[in-house]
Amino acid sequence: MLEEFQHEIFDCTRCGFCREWHWKGVEAVCPVYPYTSGFEISYARGRVRMARALMEREIEITDSFVEHAFMCTLCGNCDAHCPIEIPLHEIFQAMRADLVEAGYILPAHRQIVSNIETYHNPYGPRRGRRERSTLRSAKASILYFPGCTTTRKARSIASSTIELLDKLGQDFTVLEEDACCGYPLYEIGQMSVLKETATRTLNLIEQRGPDIVLTTCPACYRAFKSLYPEELGLRHHFEVQHISEFLLPLVKGKLAEYRAKVTWHDPCILGRHLGIYDEPREILRAIPRLELIEMYSNRENALCCGAGGGMLSAFPEIAGQVAIKRLEQARATGARELVTSCPACYLNFQRMVGHAKLDLQIKDLSEIVNEVI
Amino acid sequence: MDKKEVLDRLAGIVGPDYVTDEKFILMAYTQDFGVHPPQWPDFVVRPGSTEEISQILKLANELKIPVIPRGGGSAQEGGCLASRGGIVLETLRLNRILEIDEDTGTVTAEAGITFAKLMDILEQKGWKIGIAPSGALAGTLGAHISRPGVGWGNIKYVCQGDQVLGLKVVLPSGDVVCTGTAANPSADCFFRYGLGPDLTGLFIGSEGAYGIITEATLRMYPYPEEIYLERFTISNLREAIAIFREIAIHNLVCYIAVPVITPEKIIFDVNIEGDRDEVALWKEKVRNIILRHPGARSEGSEAPRKFWDYRWFNAGMEFKEGIAGAVNYFLPFDKLEEATYAMREIMERHGIKKYAQQMFVEPTGSEHVSLLFHYPGDKEEYEKIRRALDEMMEKALELGGAPYSKGRQWGAHLAEHLGGTGYWRLSKAIKRLLDPNNIMNPDVLGL
C-alpha cells in the first residue's frame, strides 16, 4: 500500500506547517498532538518519516512504533493545511495497512476485527432483547442503513431518523440486521477483512434492491460512495445519500420555531473527506428562530472530535481530551446545543460533555429536525 | 556512563514522557527543512521550563555530551542537527506569552512559541511585532532571534535582533542570565542598554553556540490603521536595485519582497503601513520613485493582497518545487547585481534543474537568496545541489556577503574565511570561556 504513495511521501518538504497554527481558525492542525508527549512523530511531518522508514524497511518495527502509527484520528486536517497538498491521511492509512499485513495489530483493534468477523459489528454480541422498529416491507426504494455505531451505541439517531422519514411520508425500509460498512476496518488497516465484510454488507443491501441508500453515518456514506467502488472494486447501482443531502429539499418551509443558540460540528469524514459543509448548515438555518453560531475552527478547519481512526477504542483517553477541546470551542460560541451528524462524534461528545462539566447538549441533525418537523 | 543511565537522569529532570532514545523518534530529528545530510542524536528531550534546561545543561557539562537546541525544525542550514550525536533539546513546550505590557509597548514570551501564535494573540489585542518571518507557522521566537531573524518588516524594523530588548538565556554551565534592564533583579525588561555591555547581542545570531535562549522581550507596536500592498514588475536588475535603494534609504515602506528575479523579469511587492494619511503620502512617493524608472509597471494590489491574507501558508507553497538548499546572505546595494549574476552562473554551470533567486530588502542593502529545489528522491540532483551550495557560499563570502542563517552549512566556510581575524579570535575566546567542554551546539557557525 505505502509503495503506491512513494512519490507523495518524498514530496514532504518537512516545513512543519502540520503541527499547530493558532491562525485563521486553526489551532492544532493535528488534534492529537497536544495530548501526546509531542515528539515529531506525534504529528504529520514525523509520521510521514515513519511511513518512509516502514516502506524502505529502514528501521526495526517496535511496539512503540506501531502504537504511534495508530495514534492518529485520520481526520485529514493535516492534508487540508499542507502547502504541498500531500494526501497525508491516506498515507497514514496505508502505513497501517502495511503494518497489519506484516502482522502488527493493537489489542483493542484485534477485538474489533474479531467482533466484526463474528457478529458483523465492532461491539460484540447484542445483549438483551433485540429492538424492533415498526414492521416494514423488506423492499422499498429507499433503504435506511443506520450502521453499526448508530444501531449499537447511538440508537436515538436511528429512531429519530425513522420517525422523521415517516413524518415526511417516505417509502423506506431499514436494514435491521447487524451489518458493518467496513469503514472501521479500513481505518485500522484491516484490508482483507474489510473486503469480506464489505462484500457481505453489499449483498444484504442489494437483496433489498434499493434505489437510494440513506445513511446518518459519514463513514458508511464514504464507504459506499468511494471506498467500495474505488478501493475494493465493489460496484453497485444504488445512489448513496447522507441524511443532510436527503432532508434539505424536503424540509424547507416545514420546520417549526426553535429558540436556541446552536453550533454545528463538521464531522471530518462528512466535511474534509466528502466536502459536505453546506447542506446541514442550510437545514439548521431553515429552522425559524434558531441561531446558528460557528465555532472558531469550522468547515475545512474543523477540529476533529477525537473518535476517528480507531482512536476511541485504542486510545480512549486521548480521544476524550480531543473531544473536550472541541466541546470547549463549541461552548465558547455561547451555544447551548452542539449539533452534528456522525454517530462516532455524537458518542464521543456524549461521553465527554458531562465529564468536562460543560453546559452543552449534544444532538444529531436527525434529532433536532425530528423535534421541529 | 552508559546511555541508559543518561536517559534515566534526563527523565529525572523532565519526566519520562519528555525524553526518548527510541530510534524511530530520533530518526525524525535527523533533518531540518533543508538539504543537510541526516545526523542522528542519541536522545531527544522536550523540557518545559528554563529550570529544566538549566539542569539538562549541567548534566550535559558533567558528562560532556553535546546539546543541540531545536525550535520548529524549519530552518534550512542544519543548525539544529546533532553533528556529533548528543541531546537534541526541543523548545516547543516553552510556548507561552508571559506578559503583554501595553504601558511600555513590550511583549515577553517563551522561546518555543511560534510566530503565528504570538502575532495572532497580539493582533487580537491591537498590537503587532516588527519582523514576521515567512516560516511563522512553524518557526519559533528563540530560533529566529538566534539567526538573527529577518522577515516581512525588514526595512522599517530591520532584523528581529533589533526588536529585542532583553533575553533570558541558559549558559552552557547551566547558569541563567537575564539581559537588558531585567539584569537588575528589581527591574522588568523595558530597555536593552544601561547596566553595562550589551550582552543581549552576544546571543543574537550566535545560533545556540553560547547558550540557549528561553525567553525574549520584544518591542511591539499598535496594529497599523492601514496596510497597503502593490506589486510591480521591471525587467532591468540594475534599475530594480536602484529603486530598492532609494525607497529603503528614505525608509518609505515596511518592506519590499522580491520573490522572483529571472533574466526576463523582476517581480516585487511593496508593503506600506501606518495611519491613512501617512500611507497615502508614502504610497504616492513610492509609486513616483518606482514608475519613473524605464520599464517599471504596476501590477496592482489584488495579487499581493491575496498573498498577504493567507501569507504564512502561501510562503510554504513555494516549496511545491521540492526541498530547497538555500544560500542566504546580506549584501550592500552596490554588490547585489554582481551577486545575482554570480550565483546564477554557478547554478547554471552545475546544471541545477530548478532554482529561484530572491531579495528581501534591508535599509542598507538586501538579503540575497538562492533556493535550489529538488525532489528528495532524486539523489543525483541532490549531489549537484550540495556541490553548488559549497561554491556559492565561498563566492558569497568573497563578495563580502554576511550569511543570514549559518547553521552547520556555513561553518567550515566561515572558519576558513574569518580564521585569521580578530573577530574570529574573540568569538572563539568567548566560546571557550562560556563553553569549555564544547557541549553547546558544536560545529554551528564553525566555532
Question: Which CATH number is A85's domain given?
Answer: 1.10.1060
Q: Tell the residue number behind the cell numbers 516547543, with chain if given.
A: B92
Residue contact A37–B18, C-beta within 8 A: yes
Q: Which helix (H) or strand (E) holds B166?
A: strand B164-170
> Hey, is A261 helix, strand or coil?
strand
Let me know whether B199 and B235 are in one domain: no
Which amino acid is residue B336, in one-letter code? L
Instruction: State the pLDDT at residue B209.
Output: 98
Q: Which residues of B touch A17 (CB under 8 A)?
A: 137-138, 313, 316
Tally of domains in chain A: 3
Residue B107 sits in the same domain as residue B181: yes
Same-domain status, A316 and A304: yes
Closest CB to B46 among A12, A38, A84: A38
- Does residue B213 share a domain with residue B102? yes
- pLDDT for A131-141, tens place per residue? 555 556 677 89
Q: Are residues B330 and B403 in the same domain?
A: yes
Q: What's the pLDDT score for residue A126?
A: 77
Output the pLDDT for position A134: 52
pTM confidence score: 0.96
Asked if B238 and B216 sit in the same domain, the reply is no
Phi, psi of B114 (to 5 degrees): -85, 155
Helix (H) or strand (E) holding B217: strand B212-219
Residues A242 and A319 in one domain: no
> DSSP character for B114?
B
Higher pLDDT, B148 or B350: B350
Q: Is B316 on the interface with A (CB under 8 A)?
A: yes
In a domain, A129, yes or no: no
> B7: distance to nearest CA of chain A, Å?
16
Q: Does B377 touch chain A (CB under 8 A)?
A: yes
Classify residue B159: in a domain, yes or no. Answer: yes
A150 and A212, same domain (yes or no): yes
pLDDT on residue B1: 75
All residues at 6 or more sequence positions from B20 whose CB lies less than 8 Å from its CB, including other chains: A37, A39, B26, B43, B44
Sign of CA dihedral A203, A205, A210, A211: negative
Quote the CA–CA distance of B407 and B402 in Å, as a whole number.
13
Domain membership of residue A273 as a residue range: 250-372
> Tell me, what's the pLDDT at A127?
65
Number of domains into which chain B is organized: 4
Dihedral pair phi/psi, residue B109, rounded to 5°? -140, 160
> Is A55 contained in some domain?
yes
Mean pLDDT along residues B8-30:
98
Same domain, residue pair B113 and B202: yes
Contact between chains at B25 and A41 (C-beta distance less than 8 A): yes
Taking the CA of residue A60 and the nearest CA in chain B, the distance in Å comes to 8
What confidence tier does A176 reach under pLDDT thresholds 50, 70, 90? confident
Q: Which of A184, A213, A247 is the last residue of a domain?
A: A247
Q: Which burial class, exposed, middle or buried, applies to A289 when counting CB atoms under 10 A from its CB (0-12, 13-18, 19+)?
A: exposed
Last residue of a domain, one of B58, B91, B124: B91
Domain stops at, among B64, B91, B118: B91
Examine residue B418 and state whether it is found in any structural domain, yes or no: no
- pLDDT, tens digit, 9 for 90 and up, residues B195-237: 999 999 999 999 999 999 999 999 999 999 999 999 999 999 9
Same domain, A258 and A367: yes
At residue B194, the pLDDT reads 87
Looking up residue B210, the CATH number of its domain turns out to be 3.30.465.10
Nearest to A64 among B22, B135, B138 (CB): B22
Position B48 in a domain: yes
Q: Which domain holds residue B377?
A: 315-409
Nearest to A195 by CA among A119, A121, A109, A117: A117
Q: Specify if A125 maps to a domain.
A: no
The model's pLDDT over A212-270, given as tens digits with 9 standing for 90+, comes to 999 999 999 999 999 999 999 999 999 999 999 999 999 989 999 999 999 999 999 99
For A56-95, write each residue's pLDDT tens digit: 999 999 999 999 999 999 999 999 999 999 999 999 999 9
pLDDT in tens, A314-366: 999 999 999 999 999 999 999 999 999 999 999 999 999 999 999 999 999 99
Q: How far is CA B418 from the centre of its chain?
A: 21
Q: Do B18 and A38 touch (CB under 8 A)?
A: yes
* The pLDDT of residue B376: 84
User: What would the pLDDT profile of B39-94 be if each residue is shown by its tens digit?
Assistant: 999 999 999 999 999 999 999 999 999 999 999 999 999 999 999 999 999 999 99
The one-letter amino acid at B409: Q
* Percentage with pLDDT > 90 across chain B: 98
Q: Are A362 and A308 in a shared domain?
A: yes
A243 and A255 within one domain: no
Looking up residue A150, the CATH number of its domain turns out to be 3.40.50.1860
Same domain, B116 and B218: yes
Nearest-Cα distance to chain A for B62, in Å, is: 26
